[in-house]
């Protein structure tokens, strides 16, 4: 039954929806759908949703927003370096999580408390690490850099009227594969499903931050706003140099060819994958992630083909066609982009 929570409408997951979730994950989270599009968020969102909505903004705030596993981390590093005069030494010495408070990270606290149990020292460390971002950002000096997987409609009110947003989107088939492998590495989720089982949750809008297409469409519809820069992950993969120059233009920065060359080397996938400042190594120390593997995985555009059988391909193509009908938004791995400035 729909009801109000602060400024938002809210519908709790049904028993059937929770049962489908439990087939994939063994954690104890409960979920609600927020707003007209029914964005899926854990009930932990309700604790600070109003703090996020009413968070005071500053004209030099920069948000990097996306649906999860769409190239967020790569884009964050790119944006931060261009905004901060290519300060590679500082970028390597300060974890990306410290440079970019995660706006809604607090939604994970209930499941992490359950995971940690009676380890009071580790619990204290995690609660300090995951303080609500509006609280952290209140004392953060300008310019502030903010990460979020929230759709545009759930970001602080008036975000585009005051701050700048770089939104990155990725082919949902690659997003699904990347999400699956990342969630498997997170102890708090205790995922026990095959990719095919996970994929059912994904295309049926039962994953956190879903529905995927509504999320991307909200940003796409605002792509021509002067404070919005809409990027495709595939665009970054194809020609990172051109994408970097678009970001620099957006942020009012100019650099030499030599500086861009160093930037591209820093962001080259092999180097980026080994960069401990962006690989959530602190999550492993806190016991949130498994010790094996990296947060930065393969970074391959079009790699979904290695994970989908024929039935999944057909169903996913139909799902994409249904959601993109009457729109000029397209996810293409053949590098033909319809990007409007």
Q: What is the pLDDT of residues 230-267, one digit of tens each?
A: 999 999 999 999 999 999 999 999 999 999 999 999 99
Let me know if residue 277 belongs to a domain: yes
Distance between CA 72 and CA 203 in Å, rounded? 21
Share of the chain above pLDDT 70, in %: 85
pLDDT for position 109: 80
Distance between CA 170 and CA 68 in Å, rounded? 10
Residue 33: strand pairing partners = 11, 40
Domain span holding position 103: 3-324
Let me know if residue 330 belongs to a domain: no
Reported as a single tens digit per residue, the pLDDT across 276-294 is: 767 555 555 555 555 444 4
Strand 62-66 with 39-42, pairing: unpaired
Let me know if residue 329 belongs to a domain: no
Let me know if residue 66 belongs to a domain: yes
| 125-137 mean pLDDT | 83
pLDDT for position 128: 72
Average per-residue pLDDT for the chain: 87
Say if residue 216's pLDDT is above 50. Answer: yes
| Comparison of pLDDT for 275 and 202, the residue scoring more | 202
Reported as a single tens digit per residue, the pLDDT across 23-53 is: 998 877 899 999 999 999 999 999 999 999 9
Let me know if residue 287 belongs to a domain: yes
> How many structural domains comprise the chain?
1
Mind spelling out the 3-state secondary structure of the chain?
CCEEECCEEEEECCHHHHHHHHCCECCCCCEEEECCCCEEEEHHHHHCHHHHHCCCCCCCCEEEEECCCCCHHHHHHHHHHHHCCCCHHHHHHCCHHHHCCECCHHHHHHHHHHHHCCCHHHHHHHHHHCCCHHHHHHCCCCCCEEEECCCHHHCCCCHHHHCEEEEEECCHHHHHHHHHHHHHHECCCCECCCHHHHHHHHHCCCCCCCCHHHHHHHHHCCCCCCCEEEEEHHHHHHCHHHHHHHHHHHHCCCCCHHHHHHHHHHHCHHHHHCCCCCCCHHHHHCCCECCCCCCCCCCCCCHHHHCCCHHHHHHHHHHHHHHHCCCCCCCCCCCCCCCCC
The mean-pLDDT minimum among 118-127, 185-194, 198-207 falls in: 118-127
Let me know if residue 339 belongs to a domain: no
Distance between CA 183 and CA 339 in Å, rounded? 30
The mean-pLDDT minimum among 188-192, 203-207, 295-299, 320-324 falls in: 295-299
Say if residue 311's pLDDT is above 50. Answer: yes
Let me know if residue 340 belongs to a domain: no
Instruction: Give the domain CATH number at 268.
Output: 3.40.50.300
Reported as a single tens digit per residue, the pLDDT across 53-88 is: 999 999 999 999 999 999 999 999 999 999 999 999
pLDDT for position 184: 84
Q: What are phi and psi of 148, to 5 degrees?
A: -155, 145
pLDDT for position 138: 97
Asked if omega into 211 is within 30° of 0 (cis), the reply is yes
Let me know if residue 338 belongs to a domain: no
Q: Which residue has tokens 């495709």?
A: 232
183 confidence band (pLDDT: 50, 70, 90): confident
181 is catalytic: no
Q: Which of 5, 18, 48, 149 is catalytic?
A: 149
């Amino acid at each position: 039954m729909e009801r109000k929570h602060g400024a938002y409408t809210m519908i709790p997951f049904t028993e059937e929806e929770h049962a489908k979730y439990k087939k994939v994950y063994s954690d104890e989270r409960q979920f609600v759908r927020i707003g007209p599009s029914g964005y899926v968020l854990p009930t932990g969102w309700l604790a600070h949703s109003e703090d996020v909505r009413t968070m005071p903004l500053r004209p030099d705030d920069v948000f990097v927003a996306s649906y999860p596993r769409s190239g967020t981390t790569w884009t964050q590093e790119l944006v931060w370096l261009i905004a901060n005069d290519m300060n590679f030494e500082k970028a390597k010495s300060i974890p990306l999580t410290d440079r970019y408070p995660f706006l809604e990270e607090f939604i994970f606290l209930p499941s992490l408390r359950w995971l940690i149990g009676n380890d009071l020292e580790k619990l204290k460390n995690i609660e300090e690490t995951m303080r609500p971002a509006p609280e952290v950002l209140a004392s953060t000096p300008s310019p502030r850099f903010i990460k979020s997987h929230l759709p545009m409609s759930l970001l602080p009110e008036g975000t585009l009227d005051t701050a700048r947003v770089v939104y990155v989107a990725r082919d949902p088939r690659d997003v699904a594969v990347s999400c699956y492998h990342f969630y498997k590495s997170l102890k708090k989720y205790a995922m026990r499903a095959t990719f095919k089982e996970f994929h059912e949750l994904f295309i049926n809008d039962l994953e956190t931050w879903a529905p995927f297409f509504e999320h991307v469409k909200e940003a796409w519809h605002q792509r021509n706003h002067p404070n919005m820069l809409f990027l495709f992950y595939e665009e970054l993969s194809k020609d990172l140099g051109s994408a970097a120059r678009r970001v620099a233009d957006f942020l009012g920065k100019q650099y030499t060819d030599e500086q861009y060359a160093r930037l591209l080397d820093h962001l080259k996938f092999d180097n980026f994958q080994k960069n401990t400042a962006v690989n959530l190594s602190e999550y492993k120390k806190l016991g949130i992630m498994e010790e094996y593997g990296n947060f930065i995985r393969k970074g391959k555009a079009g790699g979904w083909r290695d994970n989908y059988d024929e039935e999944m391909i057909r169903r996913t193509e139909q799902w994409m066609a249904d959601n993109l009908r009457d729109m000029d938004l397209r996810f293409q791995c053949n590098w033909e982009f319809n990007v409007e400035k």
